[in-house]
Amino acid sequence: MAKIICVLYDDPVDGYPKTYARDTIPVIKSYPDGQTTPTPSAIDFKPGELLGSVSGALGLKKWAKDNGHQLIVTSDKEGPNSTLDKELHDAEVVISQPFWPAYMTAERIAKAKNLKLIVTAGIGSDHTDLEAANKHKITVAEVTYCNSISVAEHVVMMILSLVRNYIPSHDWVRKGGWNIADCVERAYDLEGLHVGTVAAGRIGTAVLRRLKPFDVKLHYTDRHRLPADVEKELGLTFHENREDLFKVCDVITLNTPLHPETEHMINDKTLATMKRGTYLVNTARGKLCDRDAIVRALESGQLAGYAGDVWYPQPAPKDHPWRTMPHEGMTPHTSGTTLSAQARYAAGTREILENFFAGKPIRDEYLIVQGGHLAGVGAHSYSVAK
């Protein structure tokens, strides 16, 4: 029997849903690169249910009970008196979602003497100190691809919302107004603009594909170049480094993992190299940007808009300046936790747990750290400080 701590966001303020807006979600068996969606032995939830909040428990309650594991589900994760800190000392597995991350610091990892596995129910394991996980030979795994398309859709939505000034226009409707000039004095078409992604991995490439029909000029930069036929099909301009991309784009979207090479890549200096009136969309990680530099750039007009759903820390404090800065289109960290995405990462979490407890290998594409090293997909996409 193992002790498993599962840190999830709170239920809706009106209570756990009794009904849903829709009755089904599409069945998706594989992702665009052919990787199969998760294949646990079974699931104990109906796809489309709310699984990422405490009562949803990632659909793991029955599985844990049937297998004799102690499953502690909590949203209480900050500070020495939190449930997470109180329960950690003898836990074998910690699960959390990037939307409501259990920050697995070196200090917490050192305290958790029995810890063997940290699962990110989602994508992006930067809330775990990967060096500390390496040092203690803890396996870190995430459910690669589970919500990449969900995020790509959010990016496209945010780009269109900013460029077309959707949120302020909607606000006028709610206020009872018909203030067309107020709505359109900042509204443009996306057509013809130069749109670039920093990183063309799963999300970045999906964004490029989705934007192609808008007749925009597409740009990207990445550590590895995409195949020539993909560049040709999408009409992509490749830039050797992000600084070159920043200079030419009207809209920039960030789609890299957060690691030492990418932290604060957007700062006063890099913002100054962009065109005046650039739109920036960041659904990757809050710390890719210098928080206050973003506010300054929006206030000065260097940025025409900033949208995203990733912050630091999470949850963001009430006085976080990104809540109130001008021309923002922020959401809480929701892009990767639609009900559709939850069904996939809940199943993927169960697949990882089943394999782990059966002593079977975890899929390479899910592994970030194993046996003291970056492993699997982690070895490709992450770096640790030297």
| Residue from the set 111, 135, 223, 323 that interacts with ligand NDP by CB under 6 A | 223
* Closest distance to ligand NDP from the beta carbon of 212 (Å): 17
The piece of 2-10, 174-182, 250-258, 324-332 that touches ligand NDP (CB under 6 A) is 250-258
Q: Which of 224, 318, 360, 386 binds ligand NDP (CB under 6 A)?
A: 224
> Comparing C-alpha atoms, which of 220, 215, 303, 291 is closest to residue 255?
220
**Active-site hit among 147, 255, 342, 370:** 147
Q: Could you write out the DSSP letters of every residue in 128-181?
A: B-HHHHHHTT-EEEE-TTTTHHHHHHHHHHHHHHHHTTHHHHHHHHHTT---HH
Contact 304, 159 (CB under 8 A): no
Residues from 182 through 211 that contact ligand NDP (CB under 6 A): 198-204
Report the alpha-carbon angle 86-89-95, nearest 5: 80
Nearer to ligand NDP, 153 or 182 (CB): 153
Residue found under tokens 């509204």: 187
Q: Which member of 255, 314, 338, 370 binds ligand NDP (CB under 6 A)?
A: 255
- Which one of 215-223, 228-236, 295-303, 361-369 is the stretch in contact with ligand NDP (CB under 6 A)? 215-223
The answer to whether 120 contacts ligand NDP (rule: CB under 6 A) is: no
Applying CB under 6 A, does 151 fall inside the site for ligand NDP?
Answer: yes
Candidates 317, 350, 328, 326; CA nearest to 119 is: 350
- Say whether residue 33 binds ligand NDP (CB under 6 A): no
What's the token pair of residue 244?
Answer: 């070159």
- Segment near ligand NDP (CB under 6 A); pick from 170-178, 212-220, 221-229, 297-305: 221-229
Establish whether 261 is an annotated binding residue.
Answer: yes
Short-list 63, 83, 64, CA closest to 74: 83
Task: Say whether residue 262 binds ligand NDP (CB under 6 A).
Answer: yes
Quote the CA–CA distance of 152 and 202 in Å, as a whole number: 9
- Number of other CB atoms surrounding residue 87 within 10 Å: 19
Q: Is 55 annotated as a binding residue?
A: no
The smaller minimum CB distance to ligand NDP, of residues 112 and 159, is found at 159
Residue 85 binds to ligand NDP (criterion: CB under 6 A): no
Spatial CA neighbour of 162 closest among 34, 315, 282: 282
Number of residues that bind ligand NDP (CB under 6 A): 33
Q: Is there binding between residue 129 and ligand NDP (CB under 6 A)?
A: no
Instruction: Examine the residue annotation and report whether 285 is marked as an active-site residue of this protein.
Output: yes
In the set 97, 255, 314, 370, the catalytic residue is: 314
- Tell the smallest beta-carbon distance from residue 153 to ligand NDP (Å): 11
Q: With contact defined as beta carbons under 8 Å apart, do 218 and 212 qualify?
A: yes
d(CA 231, CA 215): 15
Active-site hit among 239, 333, 350, 363: 333
52 marked as part of a ligand binding site: no
Active site residue 314: yes
Query: DSSP assignment, residue 96?
Result: E
> What whole-number distance in Å separates Cα of residue 98 and Cα of residue 283?
12
Q: Check the annotation: does 202 bind a ligand.
A: yes
If one counts every other C-beta atom within 10 angstroms of the C-beta of residue 253, the result is 29
Residue ranges binding ligand NDP (CB under 6 A) = 122-124, 147-148, 151, 198-204, 221-224, 255-258, 261-262, 283-285, 309-310, 333, 335-336, 380-381
Residues making up the annotated binding site for NAD(+) are 148, 202-203, 222, 257-261, 283, 309, 333-336, 381
